Amino acid sequence: MSKVSAIQLNSGPNIKVNLYDVSTLIEQIADTNSKMVVLPENFALMPENDEDYIKSSEELDDGQIQNHLSELASKYKLWIVGGTIPIKSSDDNRVMASTITYNDNGERVSLYNKIHLFDVTLPKSKESYNESKYFMPGEKIEVIDTPIGRAGIACCYDLRFPELFRLQHEKNIDVIILPASFTEQTGKVHWETLVKARAIENLSFVVSSCQGGYHINGKKTYGHSMIVNPWGQTLDIIEKGKGFISAAIDLTQLRSIRENFPVLDHMKLINKK
């Protein structure tokens, strides 16, 4: 049984300030016996203008954001899931929304590029999002072995696409790791339902790390970072503001649930012609 922590932030446009907040919270987490820390989507940069994702983008394995996480992981002997970092792509006008995982030696062990991009105008609101204008979509799922179990990596809007997690399940995941920056409007009606649905239908733990509050760009995120067990029970949650949550990932419990309630073995896929 290993403990995991998830950080919640209210990030802004100043990368150094955001990284300072990350460092402060990870220093506290280092005293909790956690083996892994998950950071929210856009933890290092929530700009006033989305073009700043391009201006602040980094080459893979080289840049202040990546170097900082690598150093923290090595210093505190923690695995760190940094989701997301703007990484340069083949298109000069768009970047990848990359969730990068470092092991406790500070080595990059995983790269997941967000597949589903949020191109939405919220109902009865002036808030609109057009991620595909500045980001390129990823094309591959990511599953890795970690100190808390075999983990599938996803990001925010991916949560609405259960097919992605079924593909991860085929690779025998125990845990779903989900950095996010869910909007306040959609979060209050959909967030907890979706998180618990993904846990229950895949009989997997879900560790979500969120943005939570008002941002300088005028947008508001829902927060409610959660760690949920395979039975859909909330193990820990932080609703608003900066902070972190922690919980033990009990793989013995997971195996017992799957053995006694073998719903995943009963799955039948029907091809419609």
> What's the CATH code of the domain at 104?
3.60.110.10
Report yes or no: 51 and 134 within 8 Å, Cβ to Cβ. yes
Active site residue 156: yes
Question: pLDDT above 70 covers what percent of the chain?
Answer: 99
Is a pLDDT exceeding 70 seen at residue 111?
Answer: yes
The per-residue pLDDT for range 113-125, each reduced to its tens digit, is: 999 999 998 777 7
The structural domain count of the chain equals 1
The DSSP code for 244 is: E
Residue 272 is assigned to a structural domain of this protein: no
Strands (E) located in the chain: 2-8, 34-39, 79-88, 95-102, 108-113, 119-121, 128-130, 135-136, 142-146, 149-153, 175-180, 205-210, 212-214, 220-222, 225-228, 234-238, 243-249
The closest alpha carbon to 210, from 69, 83, 112, belongs to: 83
The CA-based dihedral angle spanning residues 54, 154, 235, 194, taken in that order and rounded to the nearest 10 degrees: 100
The per-residue pLDDT for range 8-60, each reduced to its tens digit, is: 999 999 999 999 999 999 999 999 999 999 999 999 999 999 999 999 999 99
Residue 271 is assigned to a structural domain of this protein: no
Here the tokens at position 150 are 């075999």
Q: What residues make up the domain containing 190?
A: 2-266
Here the tokens at position 241 are 């503001």
Is a pLDDT exceeding 60 seen at residue 272?
Answer: no
Please report the pLDDT score of residue 269 as a whole number. 73
Residue 152 is assigned to a structural domain of this protein: yes
Residue 53 is assigned to a structural domain of this protein: yes
Is a pLDDT exceeding 90 seen at residue 126?
Answer: no
Give dist(CA 257, CA 100) in Å, integer.
30
Please report the pLDDT score of residue 125 as a whole number. 74
Residue 82 is assigned to a structural domain of this protein: yes
Residue 245 is assigned to a structural domain of this protein: yes
Residue 88 is assigned to a structural domain of this protein: yes
Here the tokens at position 39 are 């950071």
Catalytic residue (one of 114, 155, 192, 196): 114
Active site residue 59: no
Active site residue 41: yes
Average pLDDT over residues 209-230: 94
Please report the pLDDT score of residue 219 as a whole number. 86
Q: What are phi and psi of 115, to 5 degrees?
A: -85, -50
Residue 23 is assigned to a structural domain of this protein: yes
Catalytic residue (one of 58, 155, 156, 192): 156
Catalytic residue (one of 41, 58, 142, 192): 41
